[in-house]
């Protein structure tokens, strides 16, 4: 573990200190948070000193049962926000809401247990991973939704329990991970098909040949039978992996560098975060952060990666220049989601907590590496996204 301030953090702190009046320049930030076990979306506001819940928005359609508001994504224009409603009849839904008024605009039916989401840069397409916690461990899918009409136009079959959803900055590629197939999957945004796969199991990491896509892949113990002539894994993972096997990554998230050249994947099962070359799909670096890393976000300048440690009630702040990281404790356990503000100064972090304990949202100051503010929300806050920031006089 490094000293509290990373190289990037010191630079940011110096820049802030040079500002003529930090108080006058202090921005205010708003974010939306999904409380999964309350069917409530919280609109929160942080003014640089305190974070508060401005509004509690009811979502869901079963009056006597929880529907599971899981993922949140704000549109690139900031005019709408989307929430995935996990438990459907039998399928899940995505709701399109107006920001500000927080009124329902439209809905789309998607797959089983929709979780995390990502939009294309133009906001016209929304990609939703269908996590599918129900029944046998069979391949699930990513739903492609045309947002102007909230219509599902395709389901891209990927793997067992897909999670994490990110679209490249150039809008051409969608990435997701497979918790129970141990893969990173790249799909074409325009073609609605899987283009490449990468195996993430230690000892087998690397691109998978696609010519045998569709064949069954056994558990990790039989991995050698599924290799192509080049030694790479060559099947898409139509059954779940043996998650007790050594070296299993159990990937839970994916995030891209701002220039689309690097991919970062937290391995929840191993305790490391992989830095992957987006072109070759080769592992460049491993960050051993421990604590069951879960979700991640990156600063707009690409200098700092923030990773939630779900099993250790904390976040890891990784300086991507040096590879060093620092750890900041959170206010509750089961630390889940993270979203960095547009200026790269703060990170919002959700903590689910356990049982009847209300979860919290924390604000981490990335310049100082310290907890800046926190407030209690509802039950099991998880998915979140920043809506907007406003600076006085701007």
DSSP H stretches of helix in the chain:
7-18, 22-25
Percent of the chain's residues with pLDDT above 70: 83
The answer to whether the CB of 342 falls within 8 A of the CB of 298 is: no
Lowest mean per-residue pLDDT among 68-72, 76-80, 362-366: 68-72
The pLDDT value recorded for residue 18 is: 43
Rounded CA separation 97/110 (Å) = 17
**Domain range list for the chain:** 7-19+29-389
| Residue 229: pLDDT over 70 | no
Determine the 3-state secondary structure of 149 from DSSP: coil
The pLDDT value recorded for residue 88 is: 65
Rounded CA separation 83/60 (Å) = 10
| CA 268 to mean position of chain CA atoms | 13
Rounded CA separation 41/201 (Å) = 36
Lowest mean per-residue pLDDT among 69-78, 120-129, 235-244, 367-376: 235-244
Q: What is the mean pLDDT of residues 281-310?
A: 98
The pLDDT value recorded for residue 394 is: 66
Among 303, 198, 295, smallest CA distance to 258 is for 303
For the chain, the helix, strand and coil percentages under 3-state DSSP, each to the nearest 5: 5, 45, 50
| Residue 11: pLDDT over 60 | no
How many Cα atoms within 13 Å fall on the side-chain side of residue 34? 31
Q: What is the mean pLDDT of residues 103-119?
A: 95
The pLDDT value recorded for residue 157 is: 96
The pLDDT value recorded for residue 340 is: 98
The answer to whether the CB of 35 falls within 8 A of the CB of 359 is: yes
244: left (phi over 0), alpha (psi -120 to 50) or beta: alpha
User: Using the 8-state DSSP alphabet, how is residue 209 labeled?
Assistant: P
Q: What is the mean pLDDT of residues 238-248?
A: 67
The pLDDT value recorded for residue 25 is: 79
| Residue 244: pLDDT over 90 | no
The pLDDT value recorded for residue 132 is: 87
The pLDDT value recorded for residue 147 is: 98
Among 193, 196, 156, 161, smallest CA distance to 177 is for 161
The pLDDT value recorded for residue 240 is: 56
Phi and psi of 271, rounded to 5°? 95, 15
Rounded CA separation 65/212 (Å) = 43
| Residue 2: pLDDT over 60 | no
Grade residue 211 by pLDDT with cuts at 50, 70 and 90.
low
The pLDDT value recorded for residue 219 is: 34
Rounded CA separation 194/207 (Å) = 13
The answer to whether the CB of 32 falls within 8 A of the CB of 384 is: yes
Q: Which residue has the higher pLDDT, 232 or 86?
A: 86
Q: Which residue has the higher pLDDT, 2 or 180?
A: 180
Q: Residue with structure tokens 């702040």?
A: 317
The pLDDT value recorded for residue 207 is: 96
Q: What is the mean pLDDT of residues 234-253?
A: 71
Provide CB contacts within 8 A for 15, sequence distance 6+. none
Q: What is the mean pLDDT of residues 103-110?
A: 96
| Residue 182: pLDDT over 80 | yes
Right CATH for 7-19+29-389 from 2.130.10.10, 1.10.3720.10, 3.90.70.10, 1.10.8.640: 2.130.10.10
Average pLDDT, the chain: 87
Lowest mean per-residue pLDDT among 39-53, 121-135, 240-254, 307-321: 240-254
| Residue 17: pLDDT over 70 | no
Q: What is the mean pLDDT of residues 258-274?
A: 97
């Amino acid at each position: 573990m490094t000293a509290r301030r990373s190289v990037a953090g010191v630079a940011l702190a110096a820049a802030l200190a040079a500002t003529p009046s930090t108080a006058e320049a202090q921005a205010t930030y708003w974010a939306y948070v999904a409380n999964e076990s309350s069917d409530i979306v919280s609109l929160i506001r942080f003014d640089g000193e305190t974070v508060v819940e401005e509004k509690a928005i009811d979502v869901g359609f079963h009056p006597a049962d929880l529907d599971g508001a899981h993922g949140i994504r704000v549109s690139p224009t900031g005019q709408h926000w989307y929430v995935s409603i996990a438990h459907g009849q039998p399928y899940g839904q995505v709701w399109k809401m107006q920001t500000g008024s927080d009124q329902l605009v439209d809905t789309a039916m998607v797959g089983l247990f929709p979780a995390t989401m990502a939009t294309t840069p133009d906001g016209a397409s929304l990609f939703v991973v269908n996590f599918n916690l129900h029944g046998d461990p069979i391949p699930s899918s990513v739903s492609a939704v045309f947002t102007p009409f909230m219509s599902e136009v395709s389901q891209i079959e990927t793997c067992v329990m897909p999670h994490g959803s990110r679209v490249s900055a150039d809008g051409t590629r969608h990435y997701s991970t497979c918790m129970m197939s141990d893969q990173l999957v790249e799909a074409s945004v325009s073609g609605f098909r899987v283009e490449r796969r990468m195996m993430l199991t230690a000892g087998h990491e690397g691109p998978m040949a696609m010519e045998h896509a569709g064949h069954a892949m056994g558990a990790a113990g039989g991995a050698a039978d599924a290799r192509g002539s080049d030694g790479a894994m060559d099947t898409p993972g139509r059954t779940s992996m043996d998650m007790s096997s050594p070296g299993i990554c159990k990937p839970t998230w994916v995030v891209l560098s701002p220039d689309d050249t690097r991919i970062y994947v937290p391995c929840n099962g191993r305790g490391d975060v992989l830095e992957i070359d987006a072109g070759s799909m080769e592992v460049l670096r491993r960050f051993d952060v421990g604590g069951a890393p879960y979700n991640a976000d990156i600063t707009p300048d690409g200098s700092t990666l923030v990773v939630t440690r779900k099993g250790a009630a904390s976040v890891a702040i990784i300086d991507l220049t040096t590879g060093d990281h620092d750890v900041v404790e959170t206010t509750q356990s089961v630390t889940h989601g993270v979203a960095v503000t547009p200026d790269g100064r703060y990170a919002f972090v959700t903590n689910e907590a356990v049982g009847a304990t209300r979860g919290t949202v924390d604000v981490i100051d990335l310049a100082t590496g310290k907890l800046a503010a926190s407030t209690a929300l509802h039950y099991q806050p998880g998915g979140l996204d920043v809506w907007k920031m406003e600076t006085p006089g701007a």
